[in-house]
Amino acid sequence: VNFSEPYRPQFHYSPKINWMNDPNGLVYNDGVYHLFHQYNPFGNRWGYMSWGHATSTDLVHWDHKAVAIPYGKEEEEGIFSGSAVVDHQNTSGFGDGGDPPIVAIYTSHYTREDGSTDQAQSLAYSIDGGQTFTKFEGNPVLEFDDPDFRDPNVSWNEEMGRWLMVVALPTQHKVQFYASDNLKDWEYLSDFGPAGATGGIWECPDFFRLPVDDNPENQKWVLHVDMNPGSVAGGSGSQYFVGEWDGTSFIPDETFMETAPHWTDYGTDFYAAISWNNIPEEDARQLWVGWMNNWDYANEIPTHPWRSAMSIPRSIHLESNNESYSLVQKPVESLRQLREDPVRLENLDLSDETIDLSQEGISGKAFEMIVEIEPGDAESVGINVREAENQRTVIGYNSVNQNVFADRTNSGESDFFEGFEQRNDVPVHLSDGTVKIRFFVDWSSVEVFVNDGSRVITNRIFPDPESIGVSAFADGGSATITNIEFWPLESIWT
C-alpha cells in the first residue's frame, strides 16, 4: 500500500479503510506479532464490532489481513475487546495434533430483540497460526450478573500452572479475576476496586509482572485499567496499580491506594493498551500498543476513508522511586531502522527568542527528535513542530510550573471537537538542571517520552500538510538546548 491521504500516519499502524478502536488479542507466535483490533468492516464510525487483523515480524512494518472474527449477524453478536493466547499444551482441546491452537477470549456483546444489551465472555480458536478463527460452539464460557462485563485479558500464570483472566465490571469500577485449566471453565477468584480514579467506567484491564529496575530477582505485579471519561487529560485514559499477587487476589501497595491516581500517559490519545502474550522468555520484554484516540472525539476526527491509528509499540518497565514505582515506556528499538540521515546540533543558546531550525536541515512531517534542555532562567523553552505562520504544536519545559508540556492549541484542524485545543502538562523534576525529551512526530500525532520514558504524552494533531517547520524557542529568559538529534523517519508503507 502507499498511504498518502491527508493525516495518514506514516509509521503508525492504521487500517486501509474504516473504523478501528482498541488493540485486541496481541500475541506473538512463531516469529509473528499479531495485532487484532476492534474494527467496523462496514463503515468509518463505531459499529458492527469485529476483530480486524494485521501482522508484523518487526513491530514496525504491518501487513493488513482479512477480518479475523466477524460480527455475528444472526445473533447480533458484537465481537468486543479481548485477548489471545497460544495454547501450547492444548489445554482447550481445540488443537488438531499439529501446531498449538491460538485461542481468542473476547466479549460477546449481544443486542436482544427488545433492544437491551448484555455481555459475556466467549472463545474463538485458530489452528492455522492465527489466519482464520472458528467460534466455539459452547459460547459464551463466562457470564456474570451485570450487563456490563467485558474485555477479558488472559495469560498463562506460571505459579498457578493455570490460565488467569482479569475482566472489567465497567460501571462498578471493578475488575474480577478468574482462573481456568482449559480456557472453557472459569473459577471465580476475587474482585479489585473501586480504587484510584473512578470518574468514568473501567475498561480493558491488563495484568502482568515486571522486574523492578530491570532486576529479575525483584518482581512486582502491575494492574493496568482504562477509564472513560474523567482521565487526566479529559475523556478516556488509563491508570495503573503496582502490588503483589497472592494466588487469589491482587494486593496493591499502599502508596497506590493513598496517593493521587497513577496515570499511564498524560496526553489525550492513549487508550486500551494491552500487552503481547507469549513473548519468548529469552526476549524478556513486555510490549504493548495503545489506541491513539480519545472517546471524546474518536468518531469525529477528520480522516477518511479510515479512522484511528495505533501508538508506536512500546516496551514497558517498572522503576522504583521513593518507596514507590512508576511505569516506564520506551519506543521499541526496532523503530530505529526507519531513521534517515541525522542532523546533530550542540549548545544552542536561546535568549528570549525563536530560532528557525529549517536552515539546519531540521523540518518535516514525520521524524524523531531528542533534545536535552537546560532551562536556565527561562520561563519556558522547547521546540515548535509542524509549524507554519499561524500553526504549531509546542513541546517544551515550563520552569514556572516545573512541567513538560505538549500544546496543541494552535496545531491545526480542531473544530470537530470543542475542547480539542488544549495543552497537556506533566510534572517533571530536573536532574542536574536538565531534562531530556524524545519525541516522534507523524502526519497526525506526537508522542513525547520524557527522561527515557518515565513520563509520556501522546496526542493527535491535524496540521496542514504544508506545516513542516521546526523551531527552537526560549521565553522570559535564557536557556540552552545542549543537544539536538533529529532523524527524518522513513514511511513504513512504501
* Active site residues per annotation: 22
Between residue 265 and residue 284, which ones bind ligand FRU under the rule CB under 6 A? 272
Q: Residue count at the site for ligand FRU (CB under 6 A)? A: 12
- Residues 51, 80, 367, 397: which binds ligand FRU (CB under 6 A)? 80
Does 18 bind ligand FRU (CB under 6 A)? Our answer is no
Q: Quick one: which of 50, 55, 81, 92 contacts ligand FRU (CB under 6 A)? A: 81
338 binds ligand FRU (CB under 6 A): no
Is 204 a binder of ligand FRU (CB under 6 A)? yes
Q: Using CA of residue 408, residue 439, residue 26, residue 202, what is the dihedral sign? A: negative
CB of 271 to ligand FRU, least distance (A): 6
CB of 113 to ligand FRU, least distance (A): 21
**Closer to ligand FRU at the Cβ: 204 or 492?**
204
The CA distance from 94 to 135, in Å, is: 11
Q: How far is the CB of 301 from ligand FRU (least distance, A)?
A: 15
Binding mask 136-175 for ligand FRU (x = CB under 6 A): --------------xx------------------------
The reply on whether position 107 binds ligand FRU by CB under 6 A is yes
490 exposure class (CB count in 10 Å sphere: 0-12, 13-18, 19+)? middle
- Counting contacts by CB under 6 A, is residue 310 touching ligand FRU? no
Residues 6+ apart with CB under 8 A from 85: 27, 102, 103, 105, 154, 155, 156, 163, 183, 277, 278
The helix/strand/coil state of 470 is strand
Backbone angles phi, psi at 339, to 5 degrees: -65, 130
Does 38 participate in binding ligand FRU (rule CB under 6 A)? yes
Instruction: Name the residue type at position 345.
Output: L
Q: How far is the CB of 226 from ligand FRU (least distance, A)?
A: 7
Handedness of CA 46, 49, 204, 11 (dihedral sign): negative
Distances from the Cα of 213 to the Cαs of 27, 253, 486, 489, in angstroms? 25, 17, 28, 30
**Residue written as cell 504493548?**
288
**Of these, 10, 21, 55, 391, which contacts ligand FRU (CB under 6 A)?**
21
Q: Which is nearer to ligand FRU, 122 or 399 (CB)?
A: 122
Per DSSP, 112 falls in state P
CB of 93 to ligand FRU, least distance (A): 27
**Closer residue to ligand FRU (CB): 28 or 46:** 46
**C-beta neighbour count of 71 within 10 angstroms:** 20
DSSP one-letter string for 208-219: EEEEETTEEEEE
Binding residues for ligand FRU, rule: CB under 6 A, are 21-22, 38, 49, 80-81, 107, 150-151, 203-204, 272
